[in-house]
Amino acid sequence: MSKVLIFVNPDTTAHQVAKMMKEGGMSAIFIKDDEKFIGIITDRDFATKVAVNKLPFDTPVKSIMSSLIITVDFKEPISIAAKLMGDKKIRKLAITDNGKIVGILRAIDFVKYHET
Q: How far apart are CA 65 and CA 38, in angstroms?
A: 9
Q: How far apart are CA 25 and CA 114, in angstroms?
A: 22
Q: What is the pTM of this model?
A: 0.86
- Residue ranges of domains in the chain, CATH in brackets: 7-115 (3.10.580.10)
Q: How far apart are CA 70 and CA 47, in angstroms?
A: 20
Task: Count CA atoms within 13 Å of residue 83 on its CB side.
Answer: 5
Q: Report pLDDT digits (tens) over 91-115.
A: 999 999 998 999 999 988 877 665 5
Q: Report pLDDT digits (tens) over 23-80.
A: 998 999 999 998 889 999 999 898 899 889 999 999 999 999 998 889 999 999 989 9
SS3 content of the chain, % helix, strand, coil (to 5): 35, 30, 35
Give the β-pairing of 36-42 and 28-33: antiparallel
